[in-house]
Chains A and B, each alone.
Chain A
Amino acid sequence: MTIHNLYIFDRGGSCLFYSEWHRRRPPGIPQEEEFKLMFGMLFSLRSFVAKMSPTDMRDGFVSFHTSRYRLHYLETPTGLRLVLNTDLGVANAREALQHIYSNLFVELVVKNPQCPPRAPVQSLLFRQRLDAFVRSLPYFGPRNP
């Protein structure tokens, strides 16, 4: 059970924050490209889910999984998108993402006068607290062999 990495995108598609803990495979493409790819995929998936949903939509797109990892997604009313990649042992990371948003991002980035809105997050305090929080999660374990 482990957590791979976290992305935070704003409404326009720029990546505000990225952090990784256990990434096994290097992406093979430059980071800029990777962010654009991720955002584009999320955008398409969201609108696909909205259009093709057979029942009434409640939360919209929440997560997808492959045979190796699961991607969890949270979108806030202000258009901020949080993406967390974990391994398959984690069924639902919505609360963790919600906590990261309301208790860490809002407190330490939105309320920080030195962090202008929609700009990449430079605050070290945010990075430290996020790291501590993620490491304290019950499903953050050592690397699986």
Chain B
Amino acid sequence: MADEALFLLLHSEMVAGLYRAAEQGEGENGRCTTKLESMGFRVGQGLIERFTKDTARFKDELDIMKFICKDFWTTVFKKQIDNLRTNHQGIYVLQDNKFRLLTQMSAGKQYLEHAPKYLAFTCGLIRGGLSNLGIKSIVTAEVSSMPACKYLKYSIISPL
């Protein structure tokens, strides 16, 4: 990423702008999150294309998830995912204890209800990256205490 501050400020304004537009025009809260997530999806697709152009093919899904946790996260947020858990049947939990987009906001419970807005884009980012690597999935996020957050990725099981 060229400059962290640039992305951070742009992202904050994106979230704020979308919610402002929703208040004035049509739409309820849910649509804003969907819009943010779809933006992230498209960005993730492009990003993953760029980041993997020199790497070898991935052996399996676990390998792909490890790539996301290490290289992808490092390139986008300058740190790795702190914890990856799986049940080996398609569900993965990625835990980031100091999520870059939330560290400035609070270190505890303040602003907790606003946190999901800032995670939607990143959920889309992960989903877009995975989709371009051939994995259809659903990605959700939860925050229990800032700035730690968890991303859950469920596979959509499709008949082969």
A residues whose Cβ falls under 8 Å from a Cβ of B: 107-108, 111-114, 122-125, 128
Contacts and interface: CB of A to CB of B under 8 A. Distances in A.
A94 to B, nearest CB: 24
Nearest to B101: A113
Given A113-B15, A113-B118, A124 B9 contact: no
Interface of B: 5, 8-9, 11-13, 15-16, 104-108, 110-111, 114, 118
Contact of B104 (A107, A122, A124, A128): A107
Given A107-B104, A111-B5, A112-B104, A124 B16 contact: no
Which of B11, B110, B114 is packed against the most chain A CB atoms within 10 Å?
B110
A111 B104 contact: yes
A123 B12 contact: no
Interface of A (DSSP majority class)? loop
Interface of B (DSSP majority class)? helix
A125 B112 CA distance: 13
A122 B118 CA distance: 19
A123 B110 contact: yes
Contacts of B13: 113
B105 A112 contact: yes
Contacts of A111: 5, 8-9, 12, 104
A113 B115 CA distance: 10
Nearest to B111: A114
Contact of A108 (B12, B15, B104): B104
A27 B76 CA distance: 50
Nearest to A127: B110
A58 B15 CA distance: 41
Contact of A114 (B8, B9, B107, B114): B114
A124 B107 CA distance: 8
21 contacts: A108-B104, A111-B5, A111-B8, A111-B9, A111-B12, A112-B12, A113-B12, A113-B16, A113-B105, A113-B118, A114-B111, A114-B114, A123-B105, A123-B106, A123-B111, A124-B108, A124-B110, A125-B104, A125-B106, A125-B108, A125-B110
Nearest to A106: B5
A46 to B, nearest CB: 30
Q: Which 6 A-B pairs have the closest CB atoms?
A: A113-B12, A111-B104, A124-B110, A125-B106, A112-B104, A114-B111
Contacts of B108: 124-125
Nearest to A111: B104
Nearest to A129: B107
